[in-house]
Homo-oligomer: A and B are copies of this chain.
Amino acid sequence: MATEKTLFEDDPVSSPKDAPAPKRRQTADEMASKQREISVSEFFTKNRHLLGFDSPLKSLLTAVKEAVDNSLDACEEAGILPELLVEIQQVNEKHFRMIVEDNGPGIVKEQIGKIFGKLLYGSKFHKLSQSRGQQGIGISAAGMYGQLTTGKPVRVVSKTGPRKPALELYLGIDTAKNKPEIHSEQEIEWDKPHGTRIEIEMEAKHQKGVRSIDMYLKQTAIANPHLTLHYSSPNEEPITYERNVRVLPPETEEIKPHPHGVELGRLIAMLKNTESRSLSGFLQEEFCRVGPKVAKNIIDGAGAGLTPKSYPARIARDAADALHTAIQEAKISSPPTTCIAPIGEELILKGLRKEIDADFYVAATRPASVYRGNPFLIEAGIAYGKPGGTGLEFEEESGRIQKRKVKVDITQDLVGAGDEPARLLRFANRVPLQYQQSACAINKGIIGTNWKSYGLTQPRGSLPIAPMVIFVHIASVWVPFTSESKEAIANYDEILKEIKLALRECGRKLGIHIRKGKRIRREFDKRNHIEKYIPHIGIALQEILDLSNEDRDSTVETLEEVLHKSRKF
């Protein structure tokens, strides 16, 4: 029997010094009787703010977002150009009904209950590939929130093909067990070849503004130019965002984990569970970028008696440790980037131009990079322009500087006034992020960029002050969000670096535009200044040279013409 040394010389309870010992309250046995398992649904019901269901206003937006994410993922996986309907109906003073309908592949009967009535269930968590959803929580949490606040079940209609019947289900969630409860199920007519429709009634608030559903959908349209989206809401004209392009984003491949991203404990578990019968085979089959040669290098580097033929499940912890170190030290190519589909500079510009009326647009797509073994890619874009009504615009036209009224009443709420910080459009795998901007790596990357060198004002540690929209998109097989509600990107160094590089590419081009604008303005001011004195020069010349009034006026005119020509650029 081993002996455990104690640190305490006496038991403070049995030997009080200056006060009576506190009363014993509970024993270990009594305490044990109160231990219980907590279902993940109970956990997220009580902590529903973690999923984005804090306030009635935010909850409605979160629910729409989760449903739209799912619809878009399903359409793209099935190779269908997405056409979505989003509808908000007011049921009574406090309750709204959210409806999202897609033309996706539909859902087979057996899966409907689990997808909408069970948390932590899905197809995207266990694979490394780019998708909007990744956790298997969102849409069932939306239904759970609806059930919690109204007591009403979710309605789902699904049809998987033209010759299949449409199924209508009403379902809830048994939170104590985290299991779906099917209330009713029947076949119905649906004059649509395939698709899914979901309806959730919930306590909600609906309004327009910066973090509204309107703004979220507008941003979704910018980042998904292949999407056609119909939106209708109470007291508003229905809107349709037409697709810009009739091509789906390229199909992304699922990849295996990269060896450099694997932790020791995970490696040990993989060795134990693999079906490979040799270490060399294991390394090549379970990871990407490992061929026979790299595998041999790793195994040679590990030592510890390991050979290419070692039987994975019999490798001891210490040898696994050596193997892990050898993997970290081995030269292995970066993971393939076919698993990531950027939007692309051209479509970003197209999207920005379509939805934001500005003077200048620029976009940049960075090459793929890697954090913790996960490939990712950053894209940035900028729409810059004077906000409506704050001043004049100067422009060169056929060699002459022209003053003109600003056309730009930009932004329909997306761009701030000129004396406000730039507005951010943040996206992760084409999904707009609306909350927690200050906690987001994108925000940090923008603040950490020196915008002064591009001719903008930037208070220390703040966003640049300009009538400007900054667009940043991260595409990755696994986006590291700071919370389940997927509102902000975690601050990984590699991600931050790429964000800054993308912004710098855009910033340089913006700087040229701004400097040109400033130069034009300066020239205009100088010309105005000189112009003021030309009539006086005319009068002086008239006196000196005894000119007639006609001569004087023609001289003045000539001088003005010379001025305009000489101050050309």
Q: Are A150 and B265 in touch, CB under 8 angstroms?
A: yes
B103 touches A12 (CB 8 A): yes
User: Which listed residue (B50, B107, B118, B149) contacts A265, Cβ 8 A?
Assistant: B149
Chain B residue with the shortest CB-CB distance to A164:
B28
Q: A6-B191, A189-B1 are in contact. Are A125 and B79 (CB under 8 A)?
A: no
Is B35 within 8 A of A115, CB to CB? Answer: yes
Which residues from 21 to 43 on chain A have a C-beta closer than 8 Å to any C-beta of chain B?
21-29, 31-32, 34-40, 42-43
The residue in chain B whose Cβ has the minimal distance to the Cβ of A152 is: B317
Contact A49 B482 (CB under 8 A): yes
**Residues of chain B within 8 A of A264, CB atoms compared:** 148-151, 203
Q: Is the CB of A110 within 8 A of B13?
A: no
CB of A95 to closest CB in B, whole Å: 9
| Contact residues in B for A266 (Cβ distance below 8 Å) | 148
A160 to B25, CA, bound (A): 14
In the assembled complex, the Cα of A31 lies from the Cα of B114 at a distance in Å of 14
Q: Is A239's beta carbon under 8 Å from chain B?
A: no
Task: Give bound CA distance, A130 to B233, whole Å.
Answer: 43
- Known A23-B79, A77-B25, A114-B35; judge A321-B151 contact (CB<8 A): yes
Known: A1-B189, A11-B103, A121-B36. A247 touches B22 (CB 8 A): yes
Inter-chain contacts of A320 with B (CB < 8 A): 151
Contact for A439 among B80, B150, B246, B436, CB less than 8 A: B436
Residues from chain B with Cβ under 8 Å of A101 in the complex: 7
A81-B38 in contact (CB<8A): no
Contact A189 B3 (CB under 8 A): yes
Question: What's the least CB distance linking A264 to chain B, in Å?
Answer: 5
* A293 contacts the other chain (CB 8 A): no
List A residues 172-195 near B (Cβ within 8 Å): 175, 186-195
Inter-subunit contact B317/A151 (CB<8 Å)? yes
State in angstroms the CA–CA spacing of A193 and B42 once bound together.
37
Is A346 an interface position by the 8 A CB rule? no
Contacts of A23 in B (CB 8 A): 79
Report the minimal beta-carbon distance from A471 to chain B, rounded to whole angstroms. Answer: 24
Cβ-closest chain B residue relative to A243: B12
Chain B residue nearest in CB terms to A84: B7
In the complex, A18 Cα to B244 Cα: how many Å?
11
Knowing A36-B126, A135-B43, say if A1 contacts B482 (CB, 8 Å).
no
Q: Binary interface profile of A, 98-124, with partner B (CB < 8 Å = 1, else 0)?
A: 000101011110110011001011110
Tally A residues with Cβ within 8 Å of B. 121
The reply to whether B105 and A26 contact each other, CB–CB distance below 8 Å, is yes
Known A77-B26, A189-B1; judge A120-B12 contact (CB<8 A). Answer: no
Does A268 interact with chain B (Cβ within 8 Å)?
Answer: yes
Q: Are A6 and B192 in contact (CB under 8 A)?
A: yes
Bound-state CA distance A247–B61 (Å) is: 49
- Does the CB pair A193–B14 fall under 8 Å? yes
List chain B residues, Cβ under 8 A from A295.
none
Provide the A422-466 mask, 1 if CB < 8 A to any CB of B, else 0.
000000000000001011000000000000000000000000000
B150 touches A38 (CB 8 A): no
* Alpha-carbon gap, A483 to B49, bound state (A): 9
The verdict on A17 contacting chain B, using a C-beta distance below 8 Å, is: yes
Q: Known contacts A7-B230, A107-B28, A108-B28: does B483 contact A34 (CB below 8 Å)?
A: no
Q: Is A166 an interface residue (CB 8 A)?
A: yes
Using CB atoms, name the residue of chain B closest to A34: B123
Q: Is A531 among interface residues, defined by CB-CB distance under 8 A?
A: no
Which of A111, A118, A203 is packed against the most chain B CB atoms within 10 Å?
A111
Does any Cβ of B come within 8 Å of A74's Cβ?
yes
A486 and B42 CA atoms in complex are apart in Å by: 18
Task: Compute how far the CA of A295 lies from the CA of B148 in the bound complex, rounded to whole angstroms.
Answer: 23
A106 touches B317 (CB 8 A): no
In Å, the complex CA distance between A120 and B125 comes to 20
Q: Within 8 Å of chain B (Cβ to Cβ): is A541?
A: no
Contact assessment for B38 and A121 in the assembled complex, using a CB-CB cutoff below 8 Å = yes
- 13 A-B residue pairs with CB within 8 Å: A4-B190, A4-B191, A13-B79, A22-B81, A24-B79, A28-B106, A29-B108, A35-B122, A38-B122, A146-B265, A151-B320, A436-B439, A439-B439
Closest 6 CB pairs of A and B: A25-B79, A19-B246, A148-B265, A6-B192, A34-B123, A28-B160
Interface residues of A (CB under 8 A from B): 1-8, 11-14, 16-19, 21-29, 31-32, 34-40, 42-43, 46-47, 49-50, 54, 74, 76-81, 83, 85, 101, 103, 105-108, 110-111, 114-115, 118, 120-123, 125-127, 135-136, 146-152, 157, 160-161, 166, 168, 175, 186-195, 197, 203, 228, 230, 246-248, 251, 263-269, 317, 320-321, 436, 438-439, 478, 480-484, 490
Not counting A36-B126, A42-B125, A46-B478, a sample of 4 additional A-B residue pairs whose C-beta atoms are within 8 angstroms of each other reads: A21-B81, A27-B78, A28-B105, A32-B111
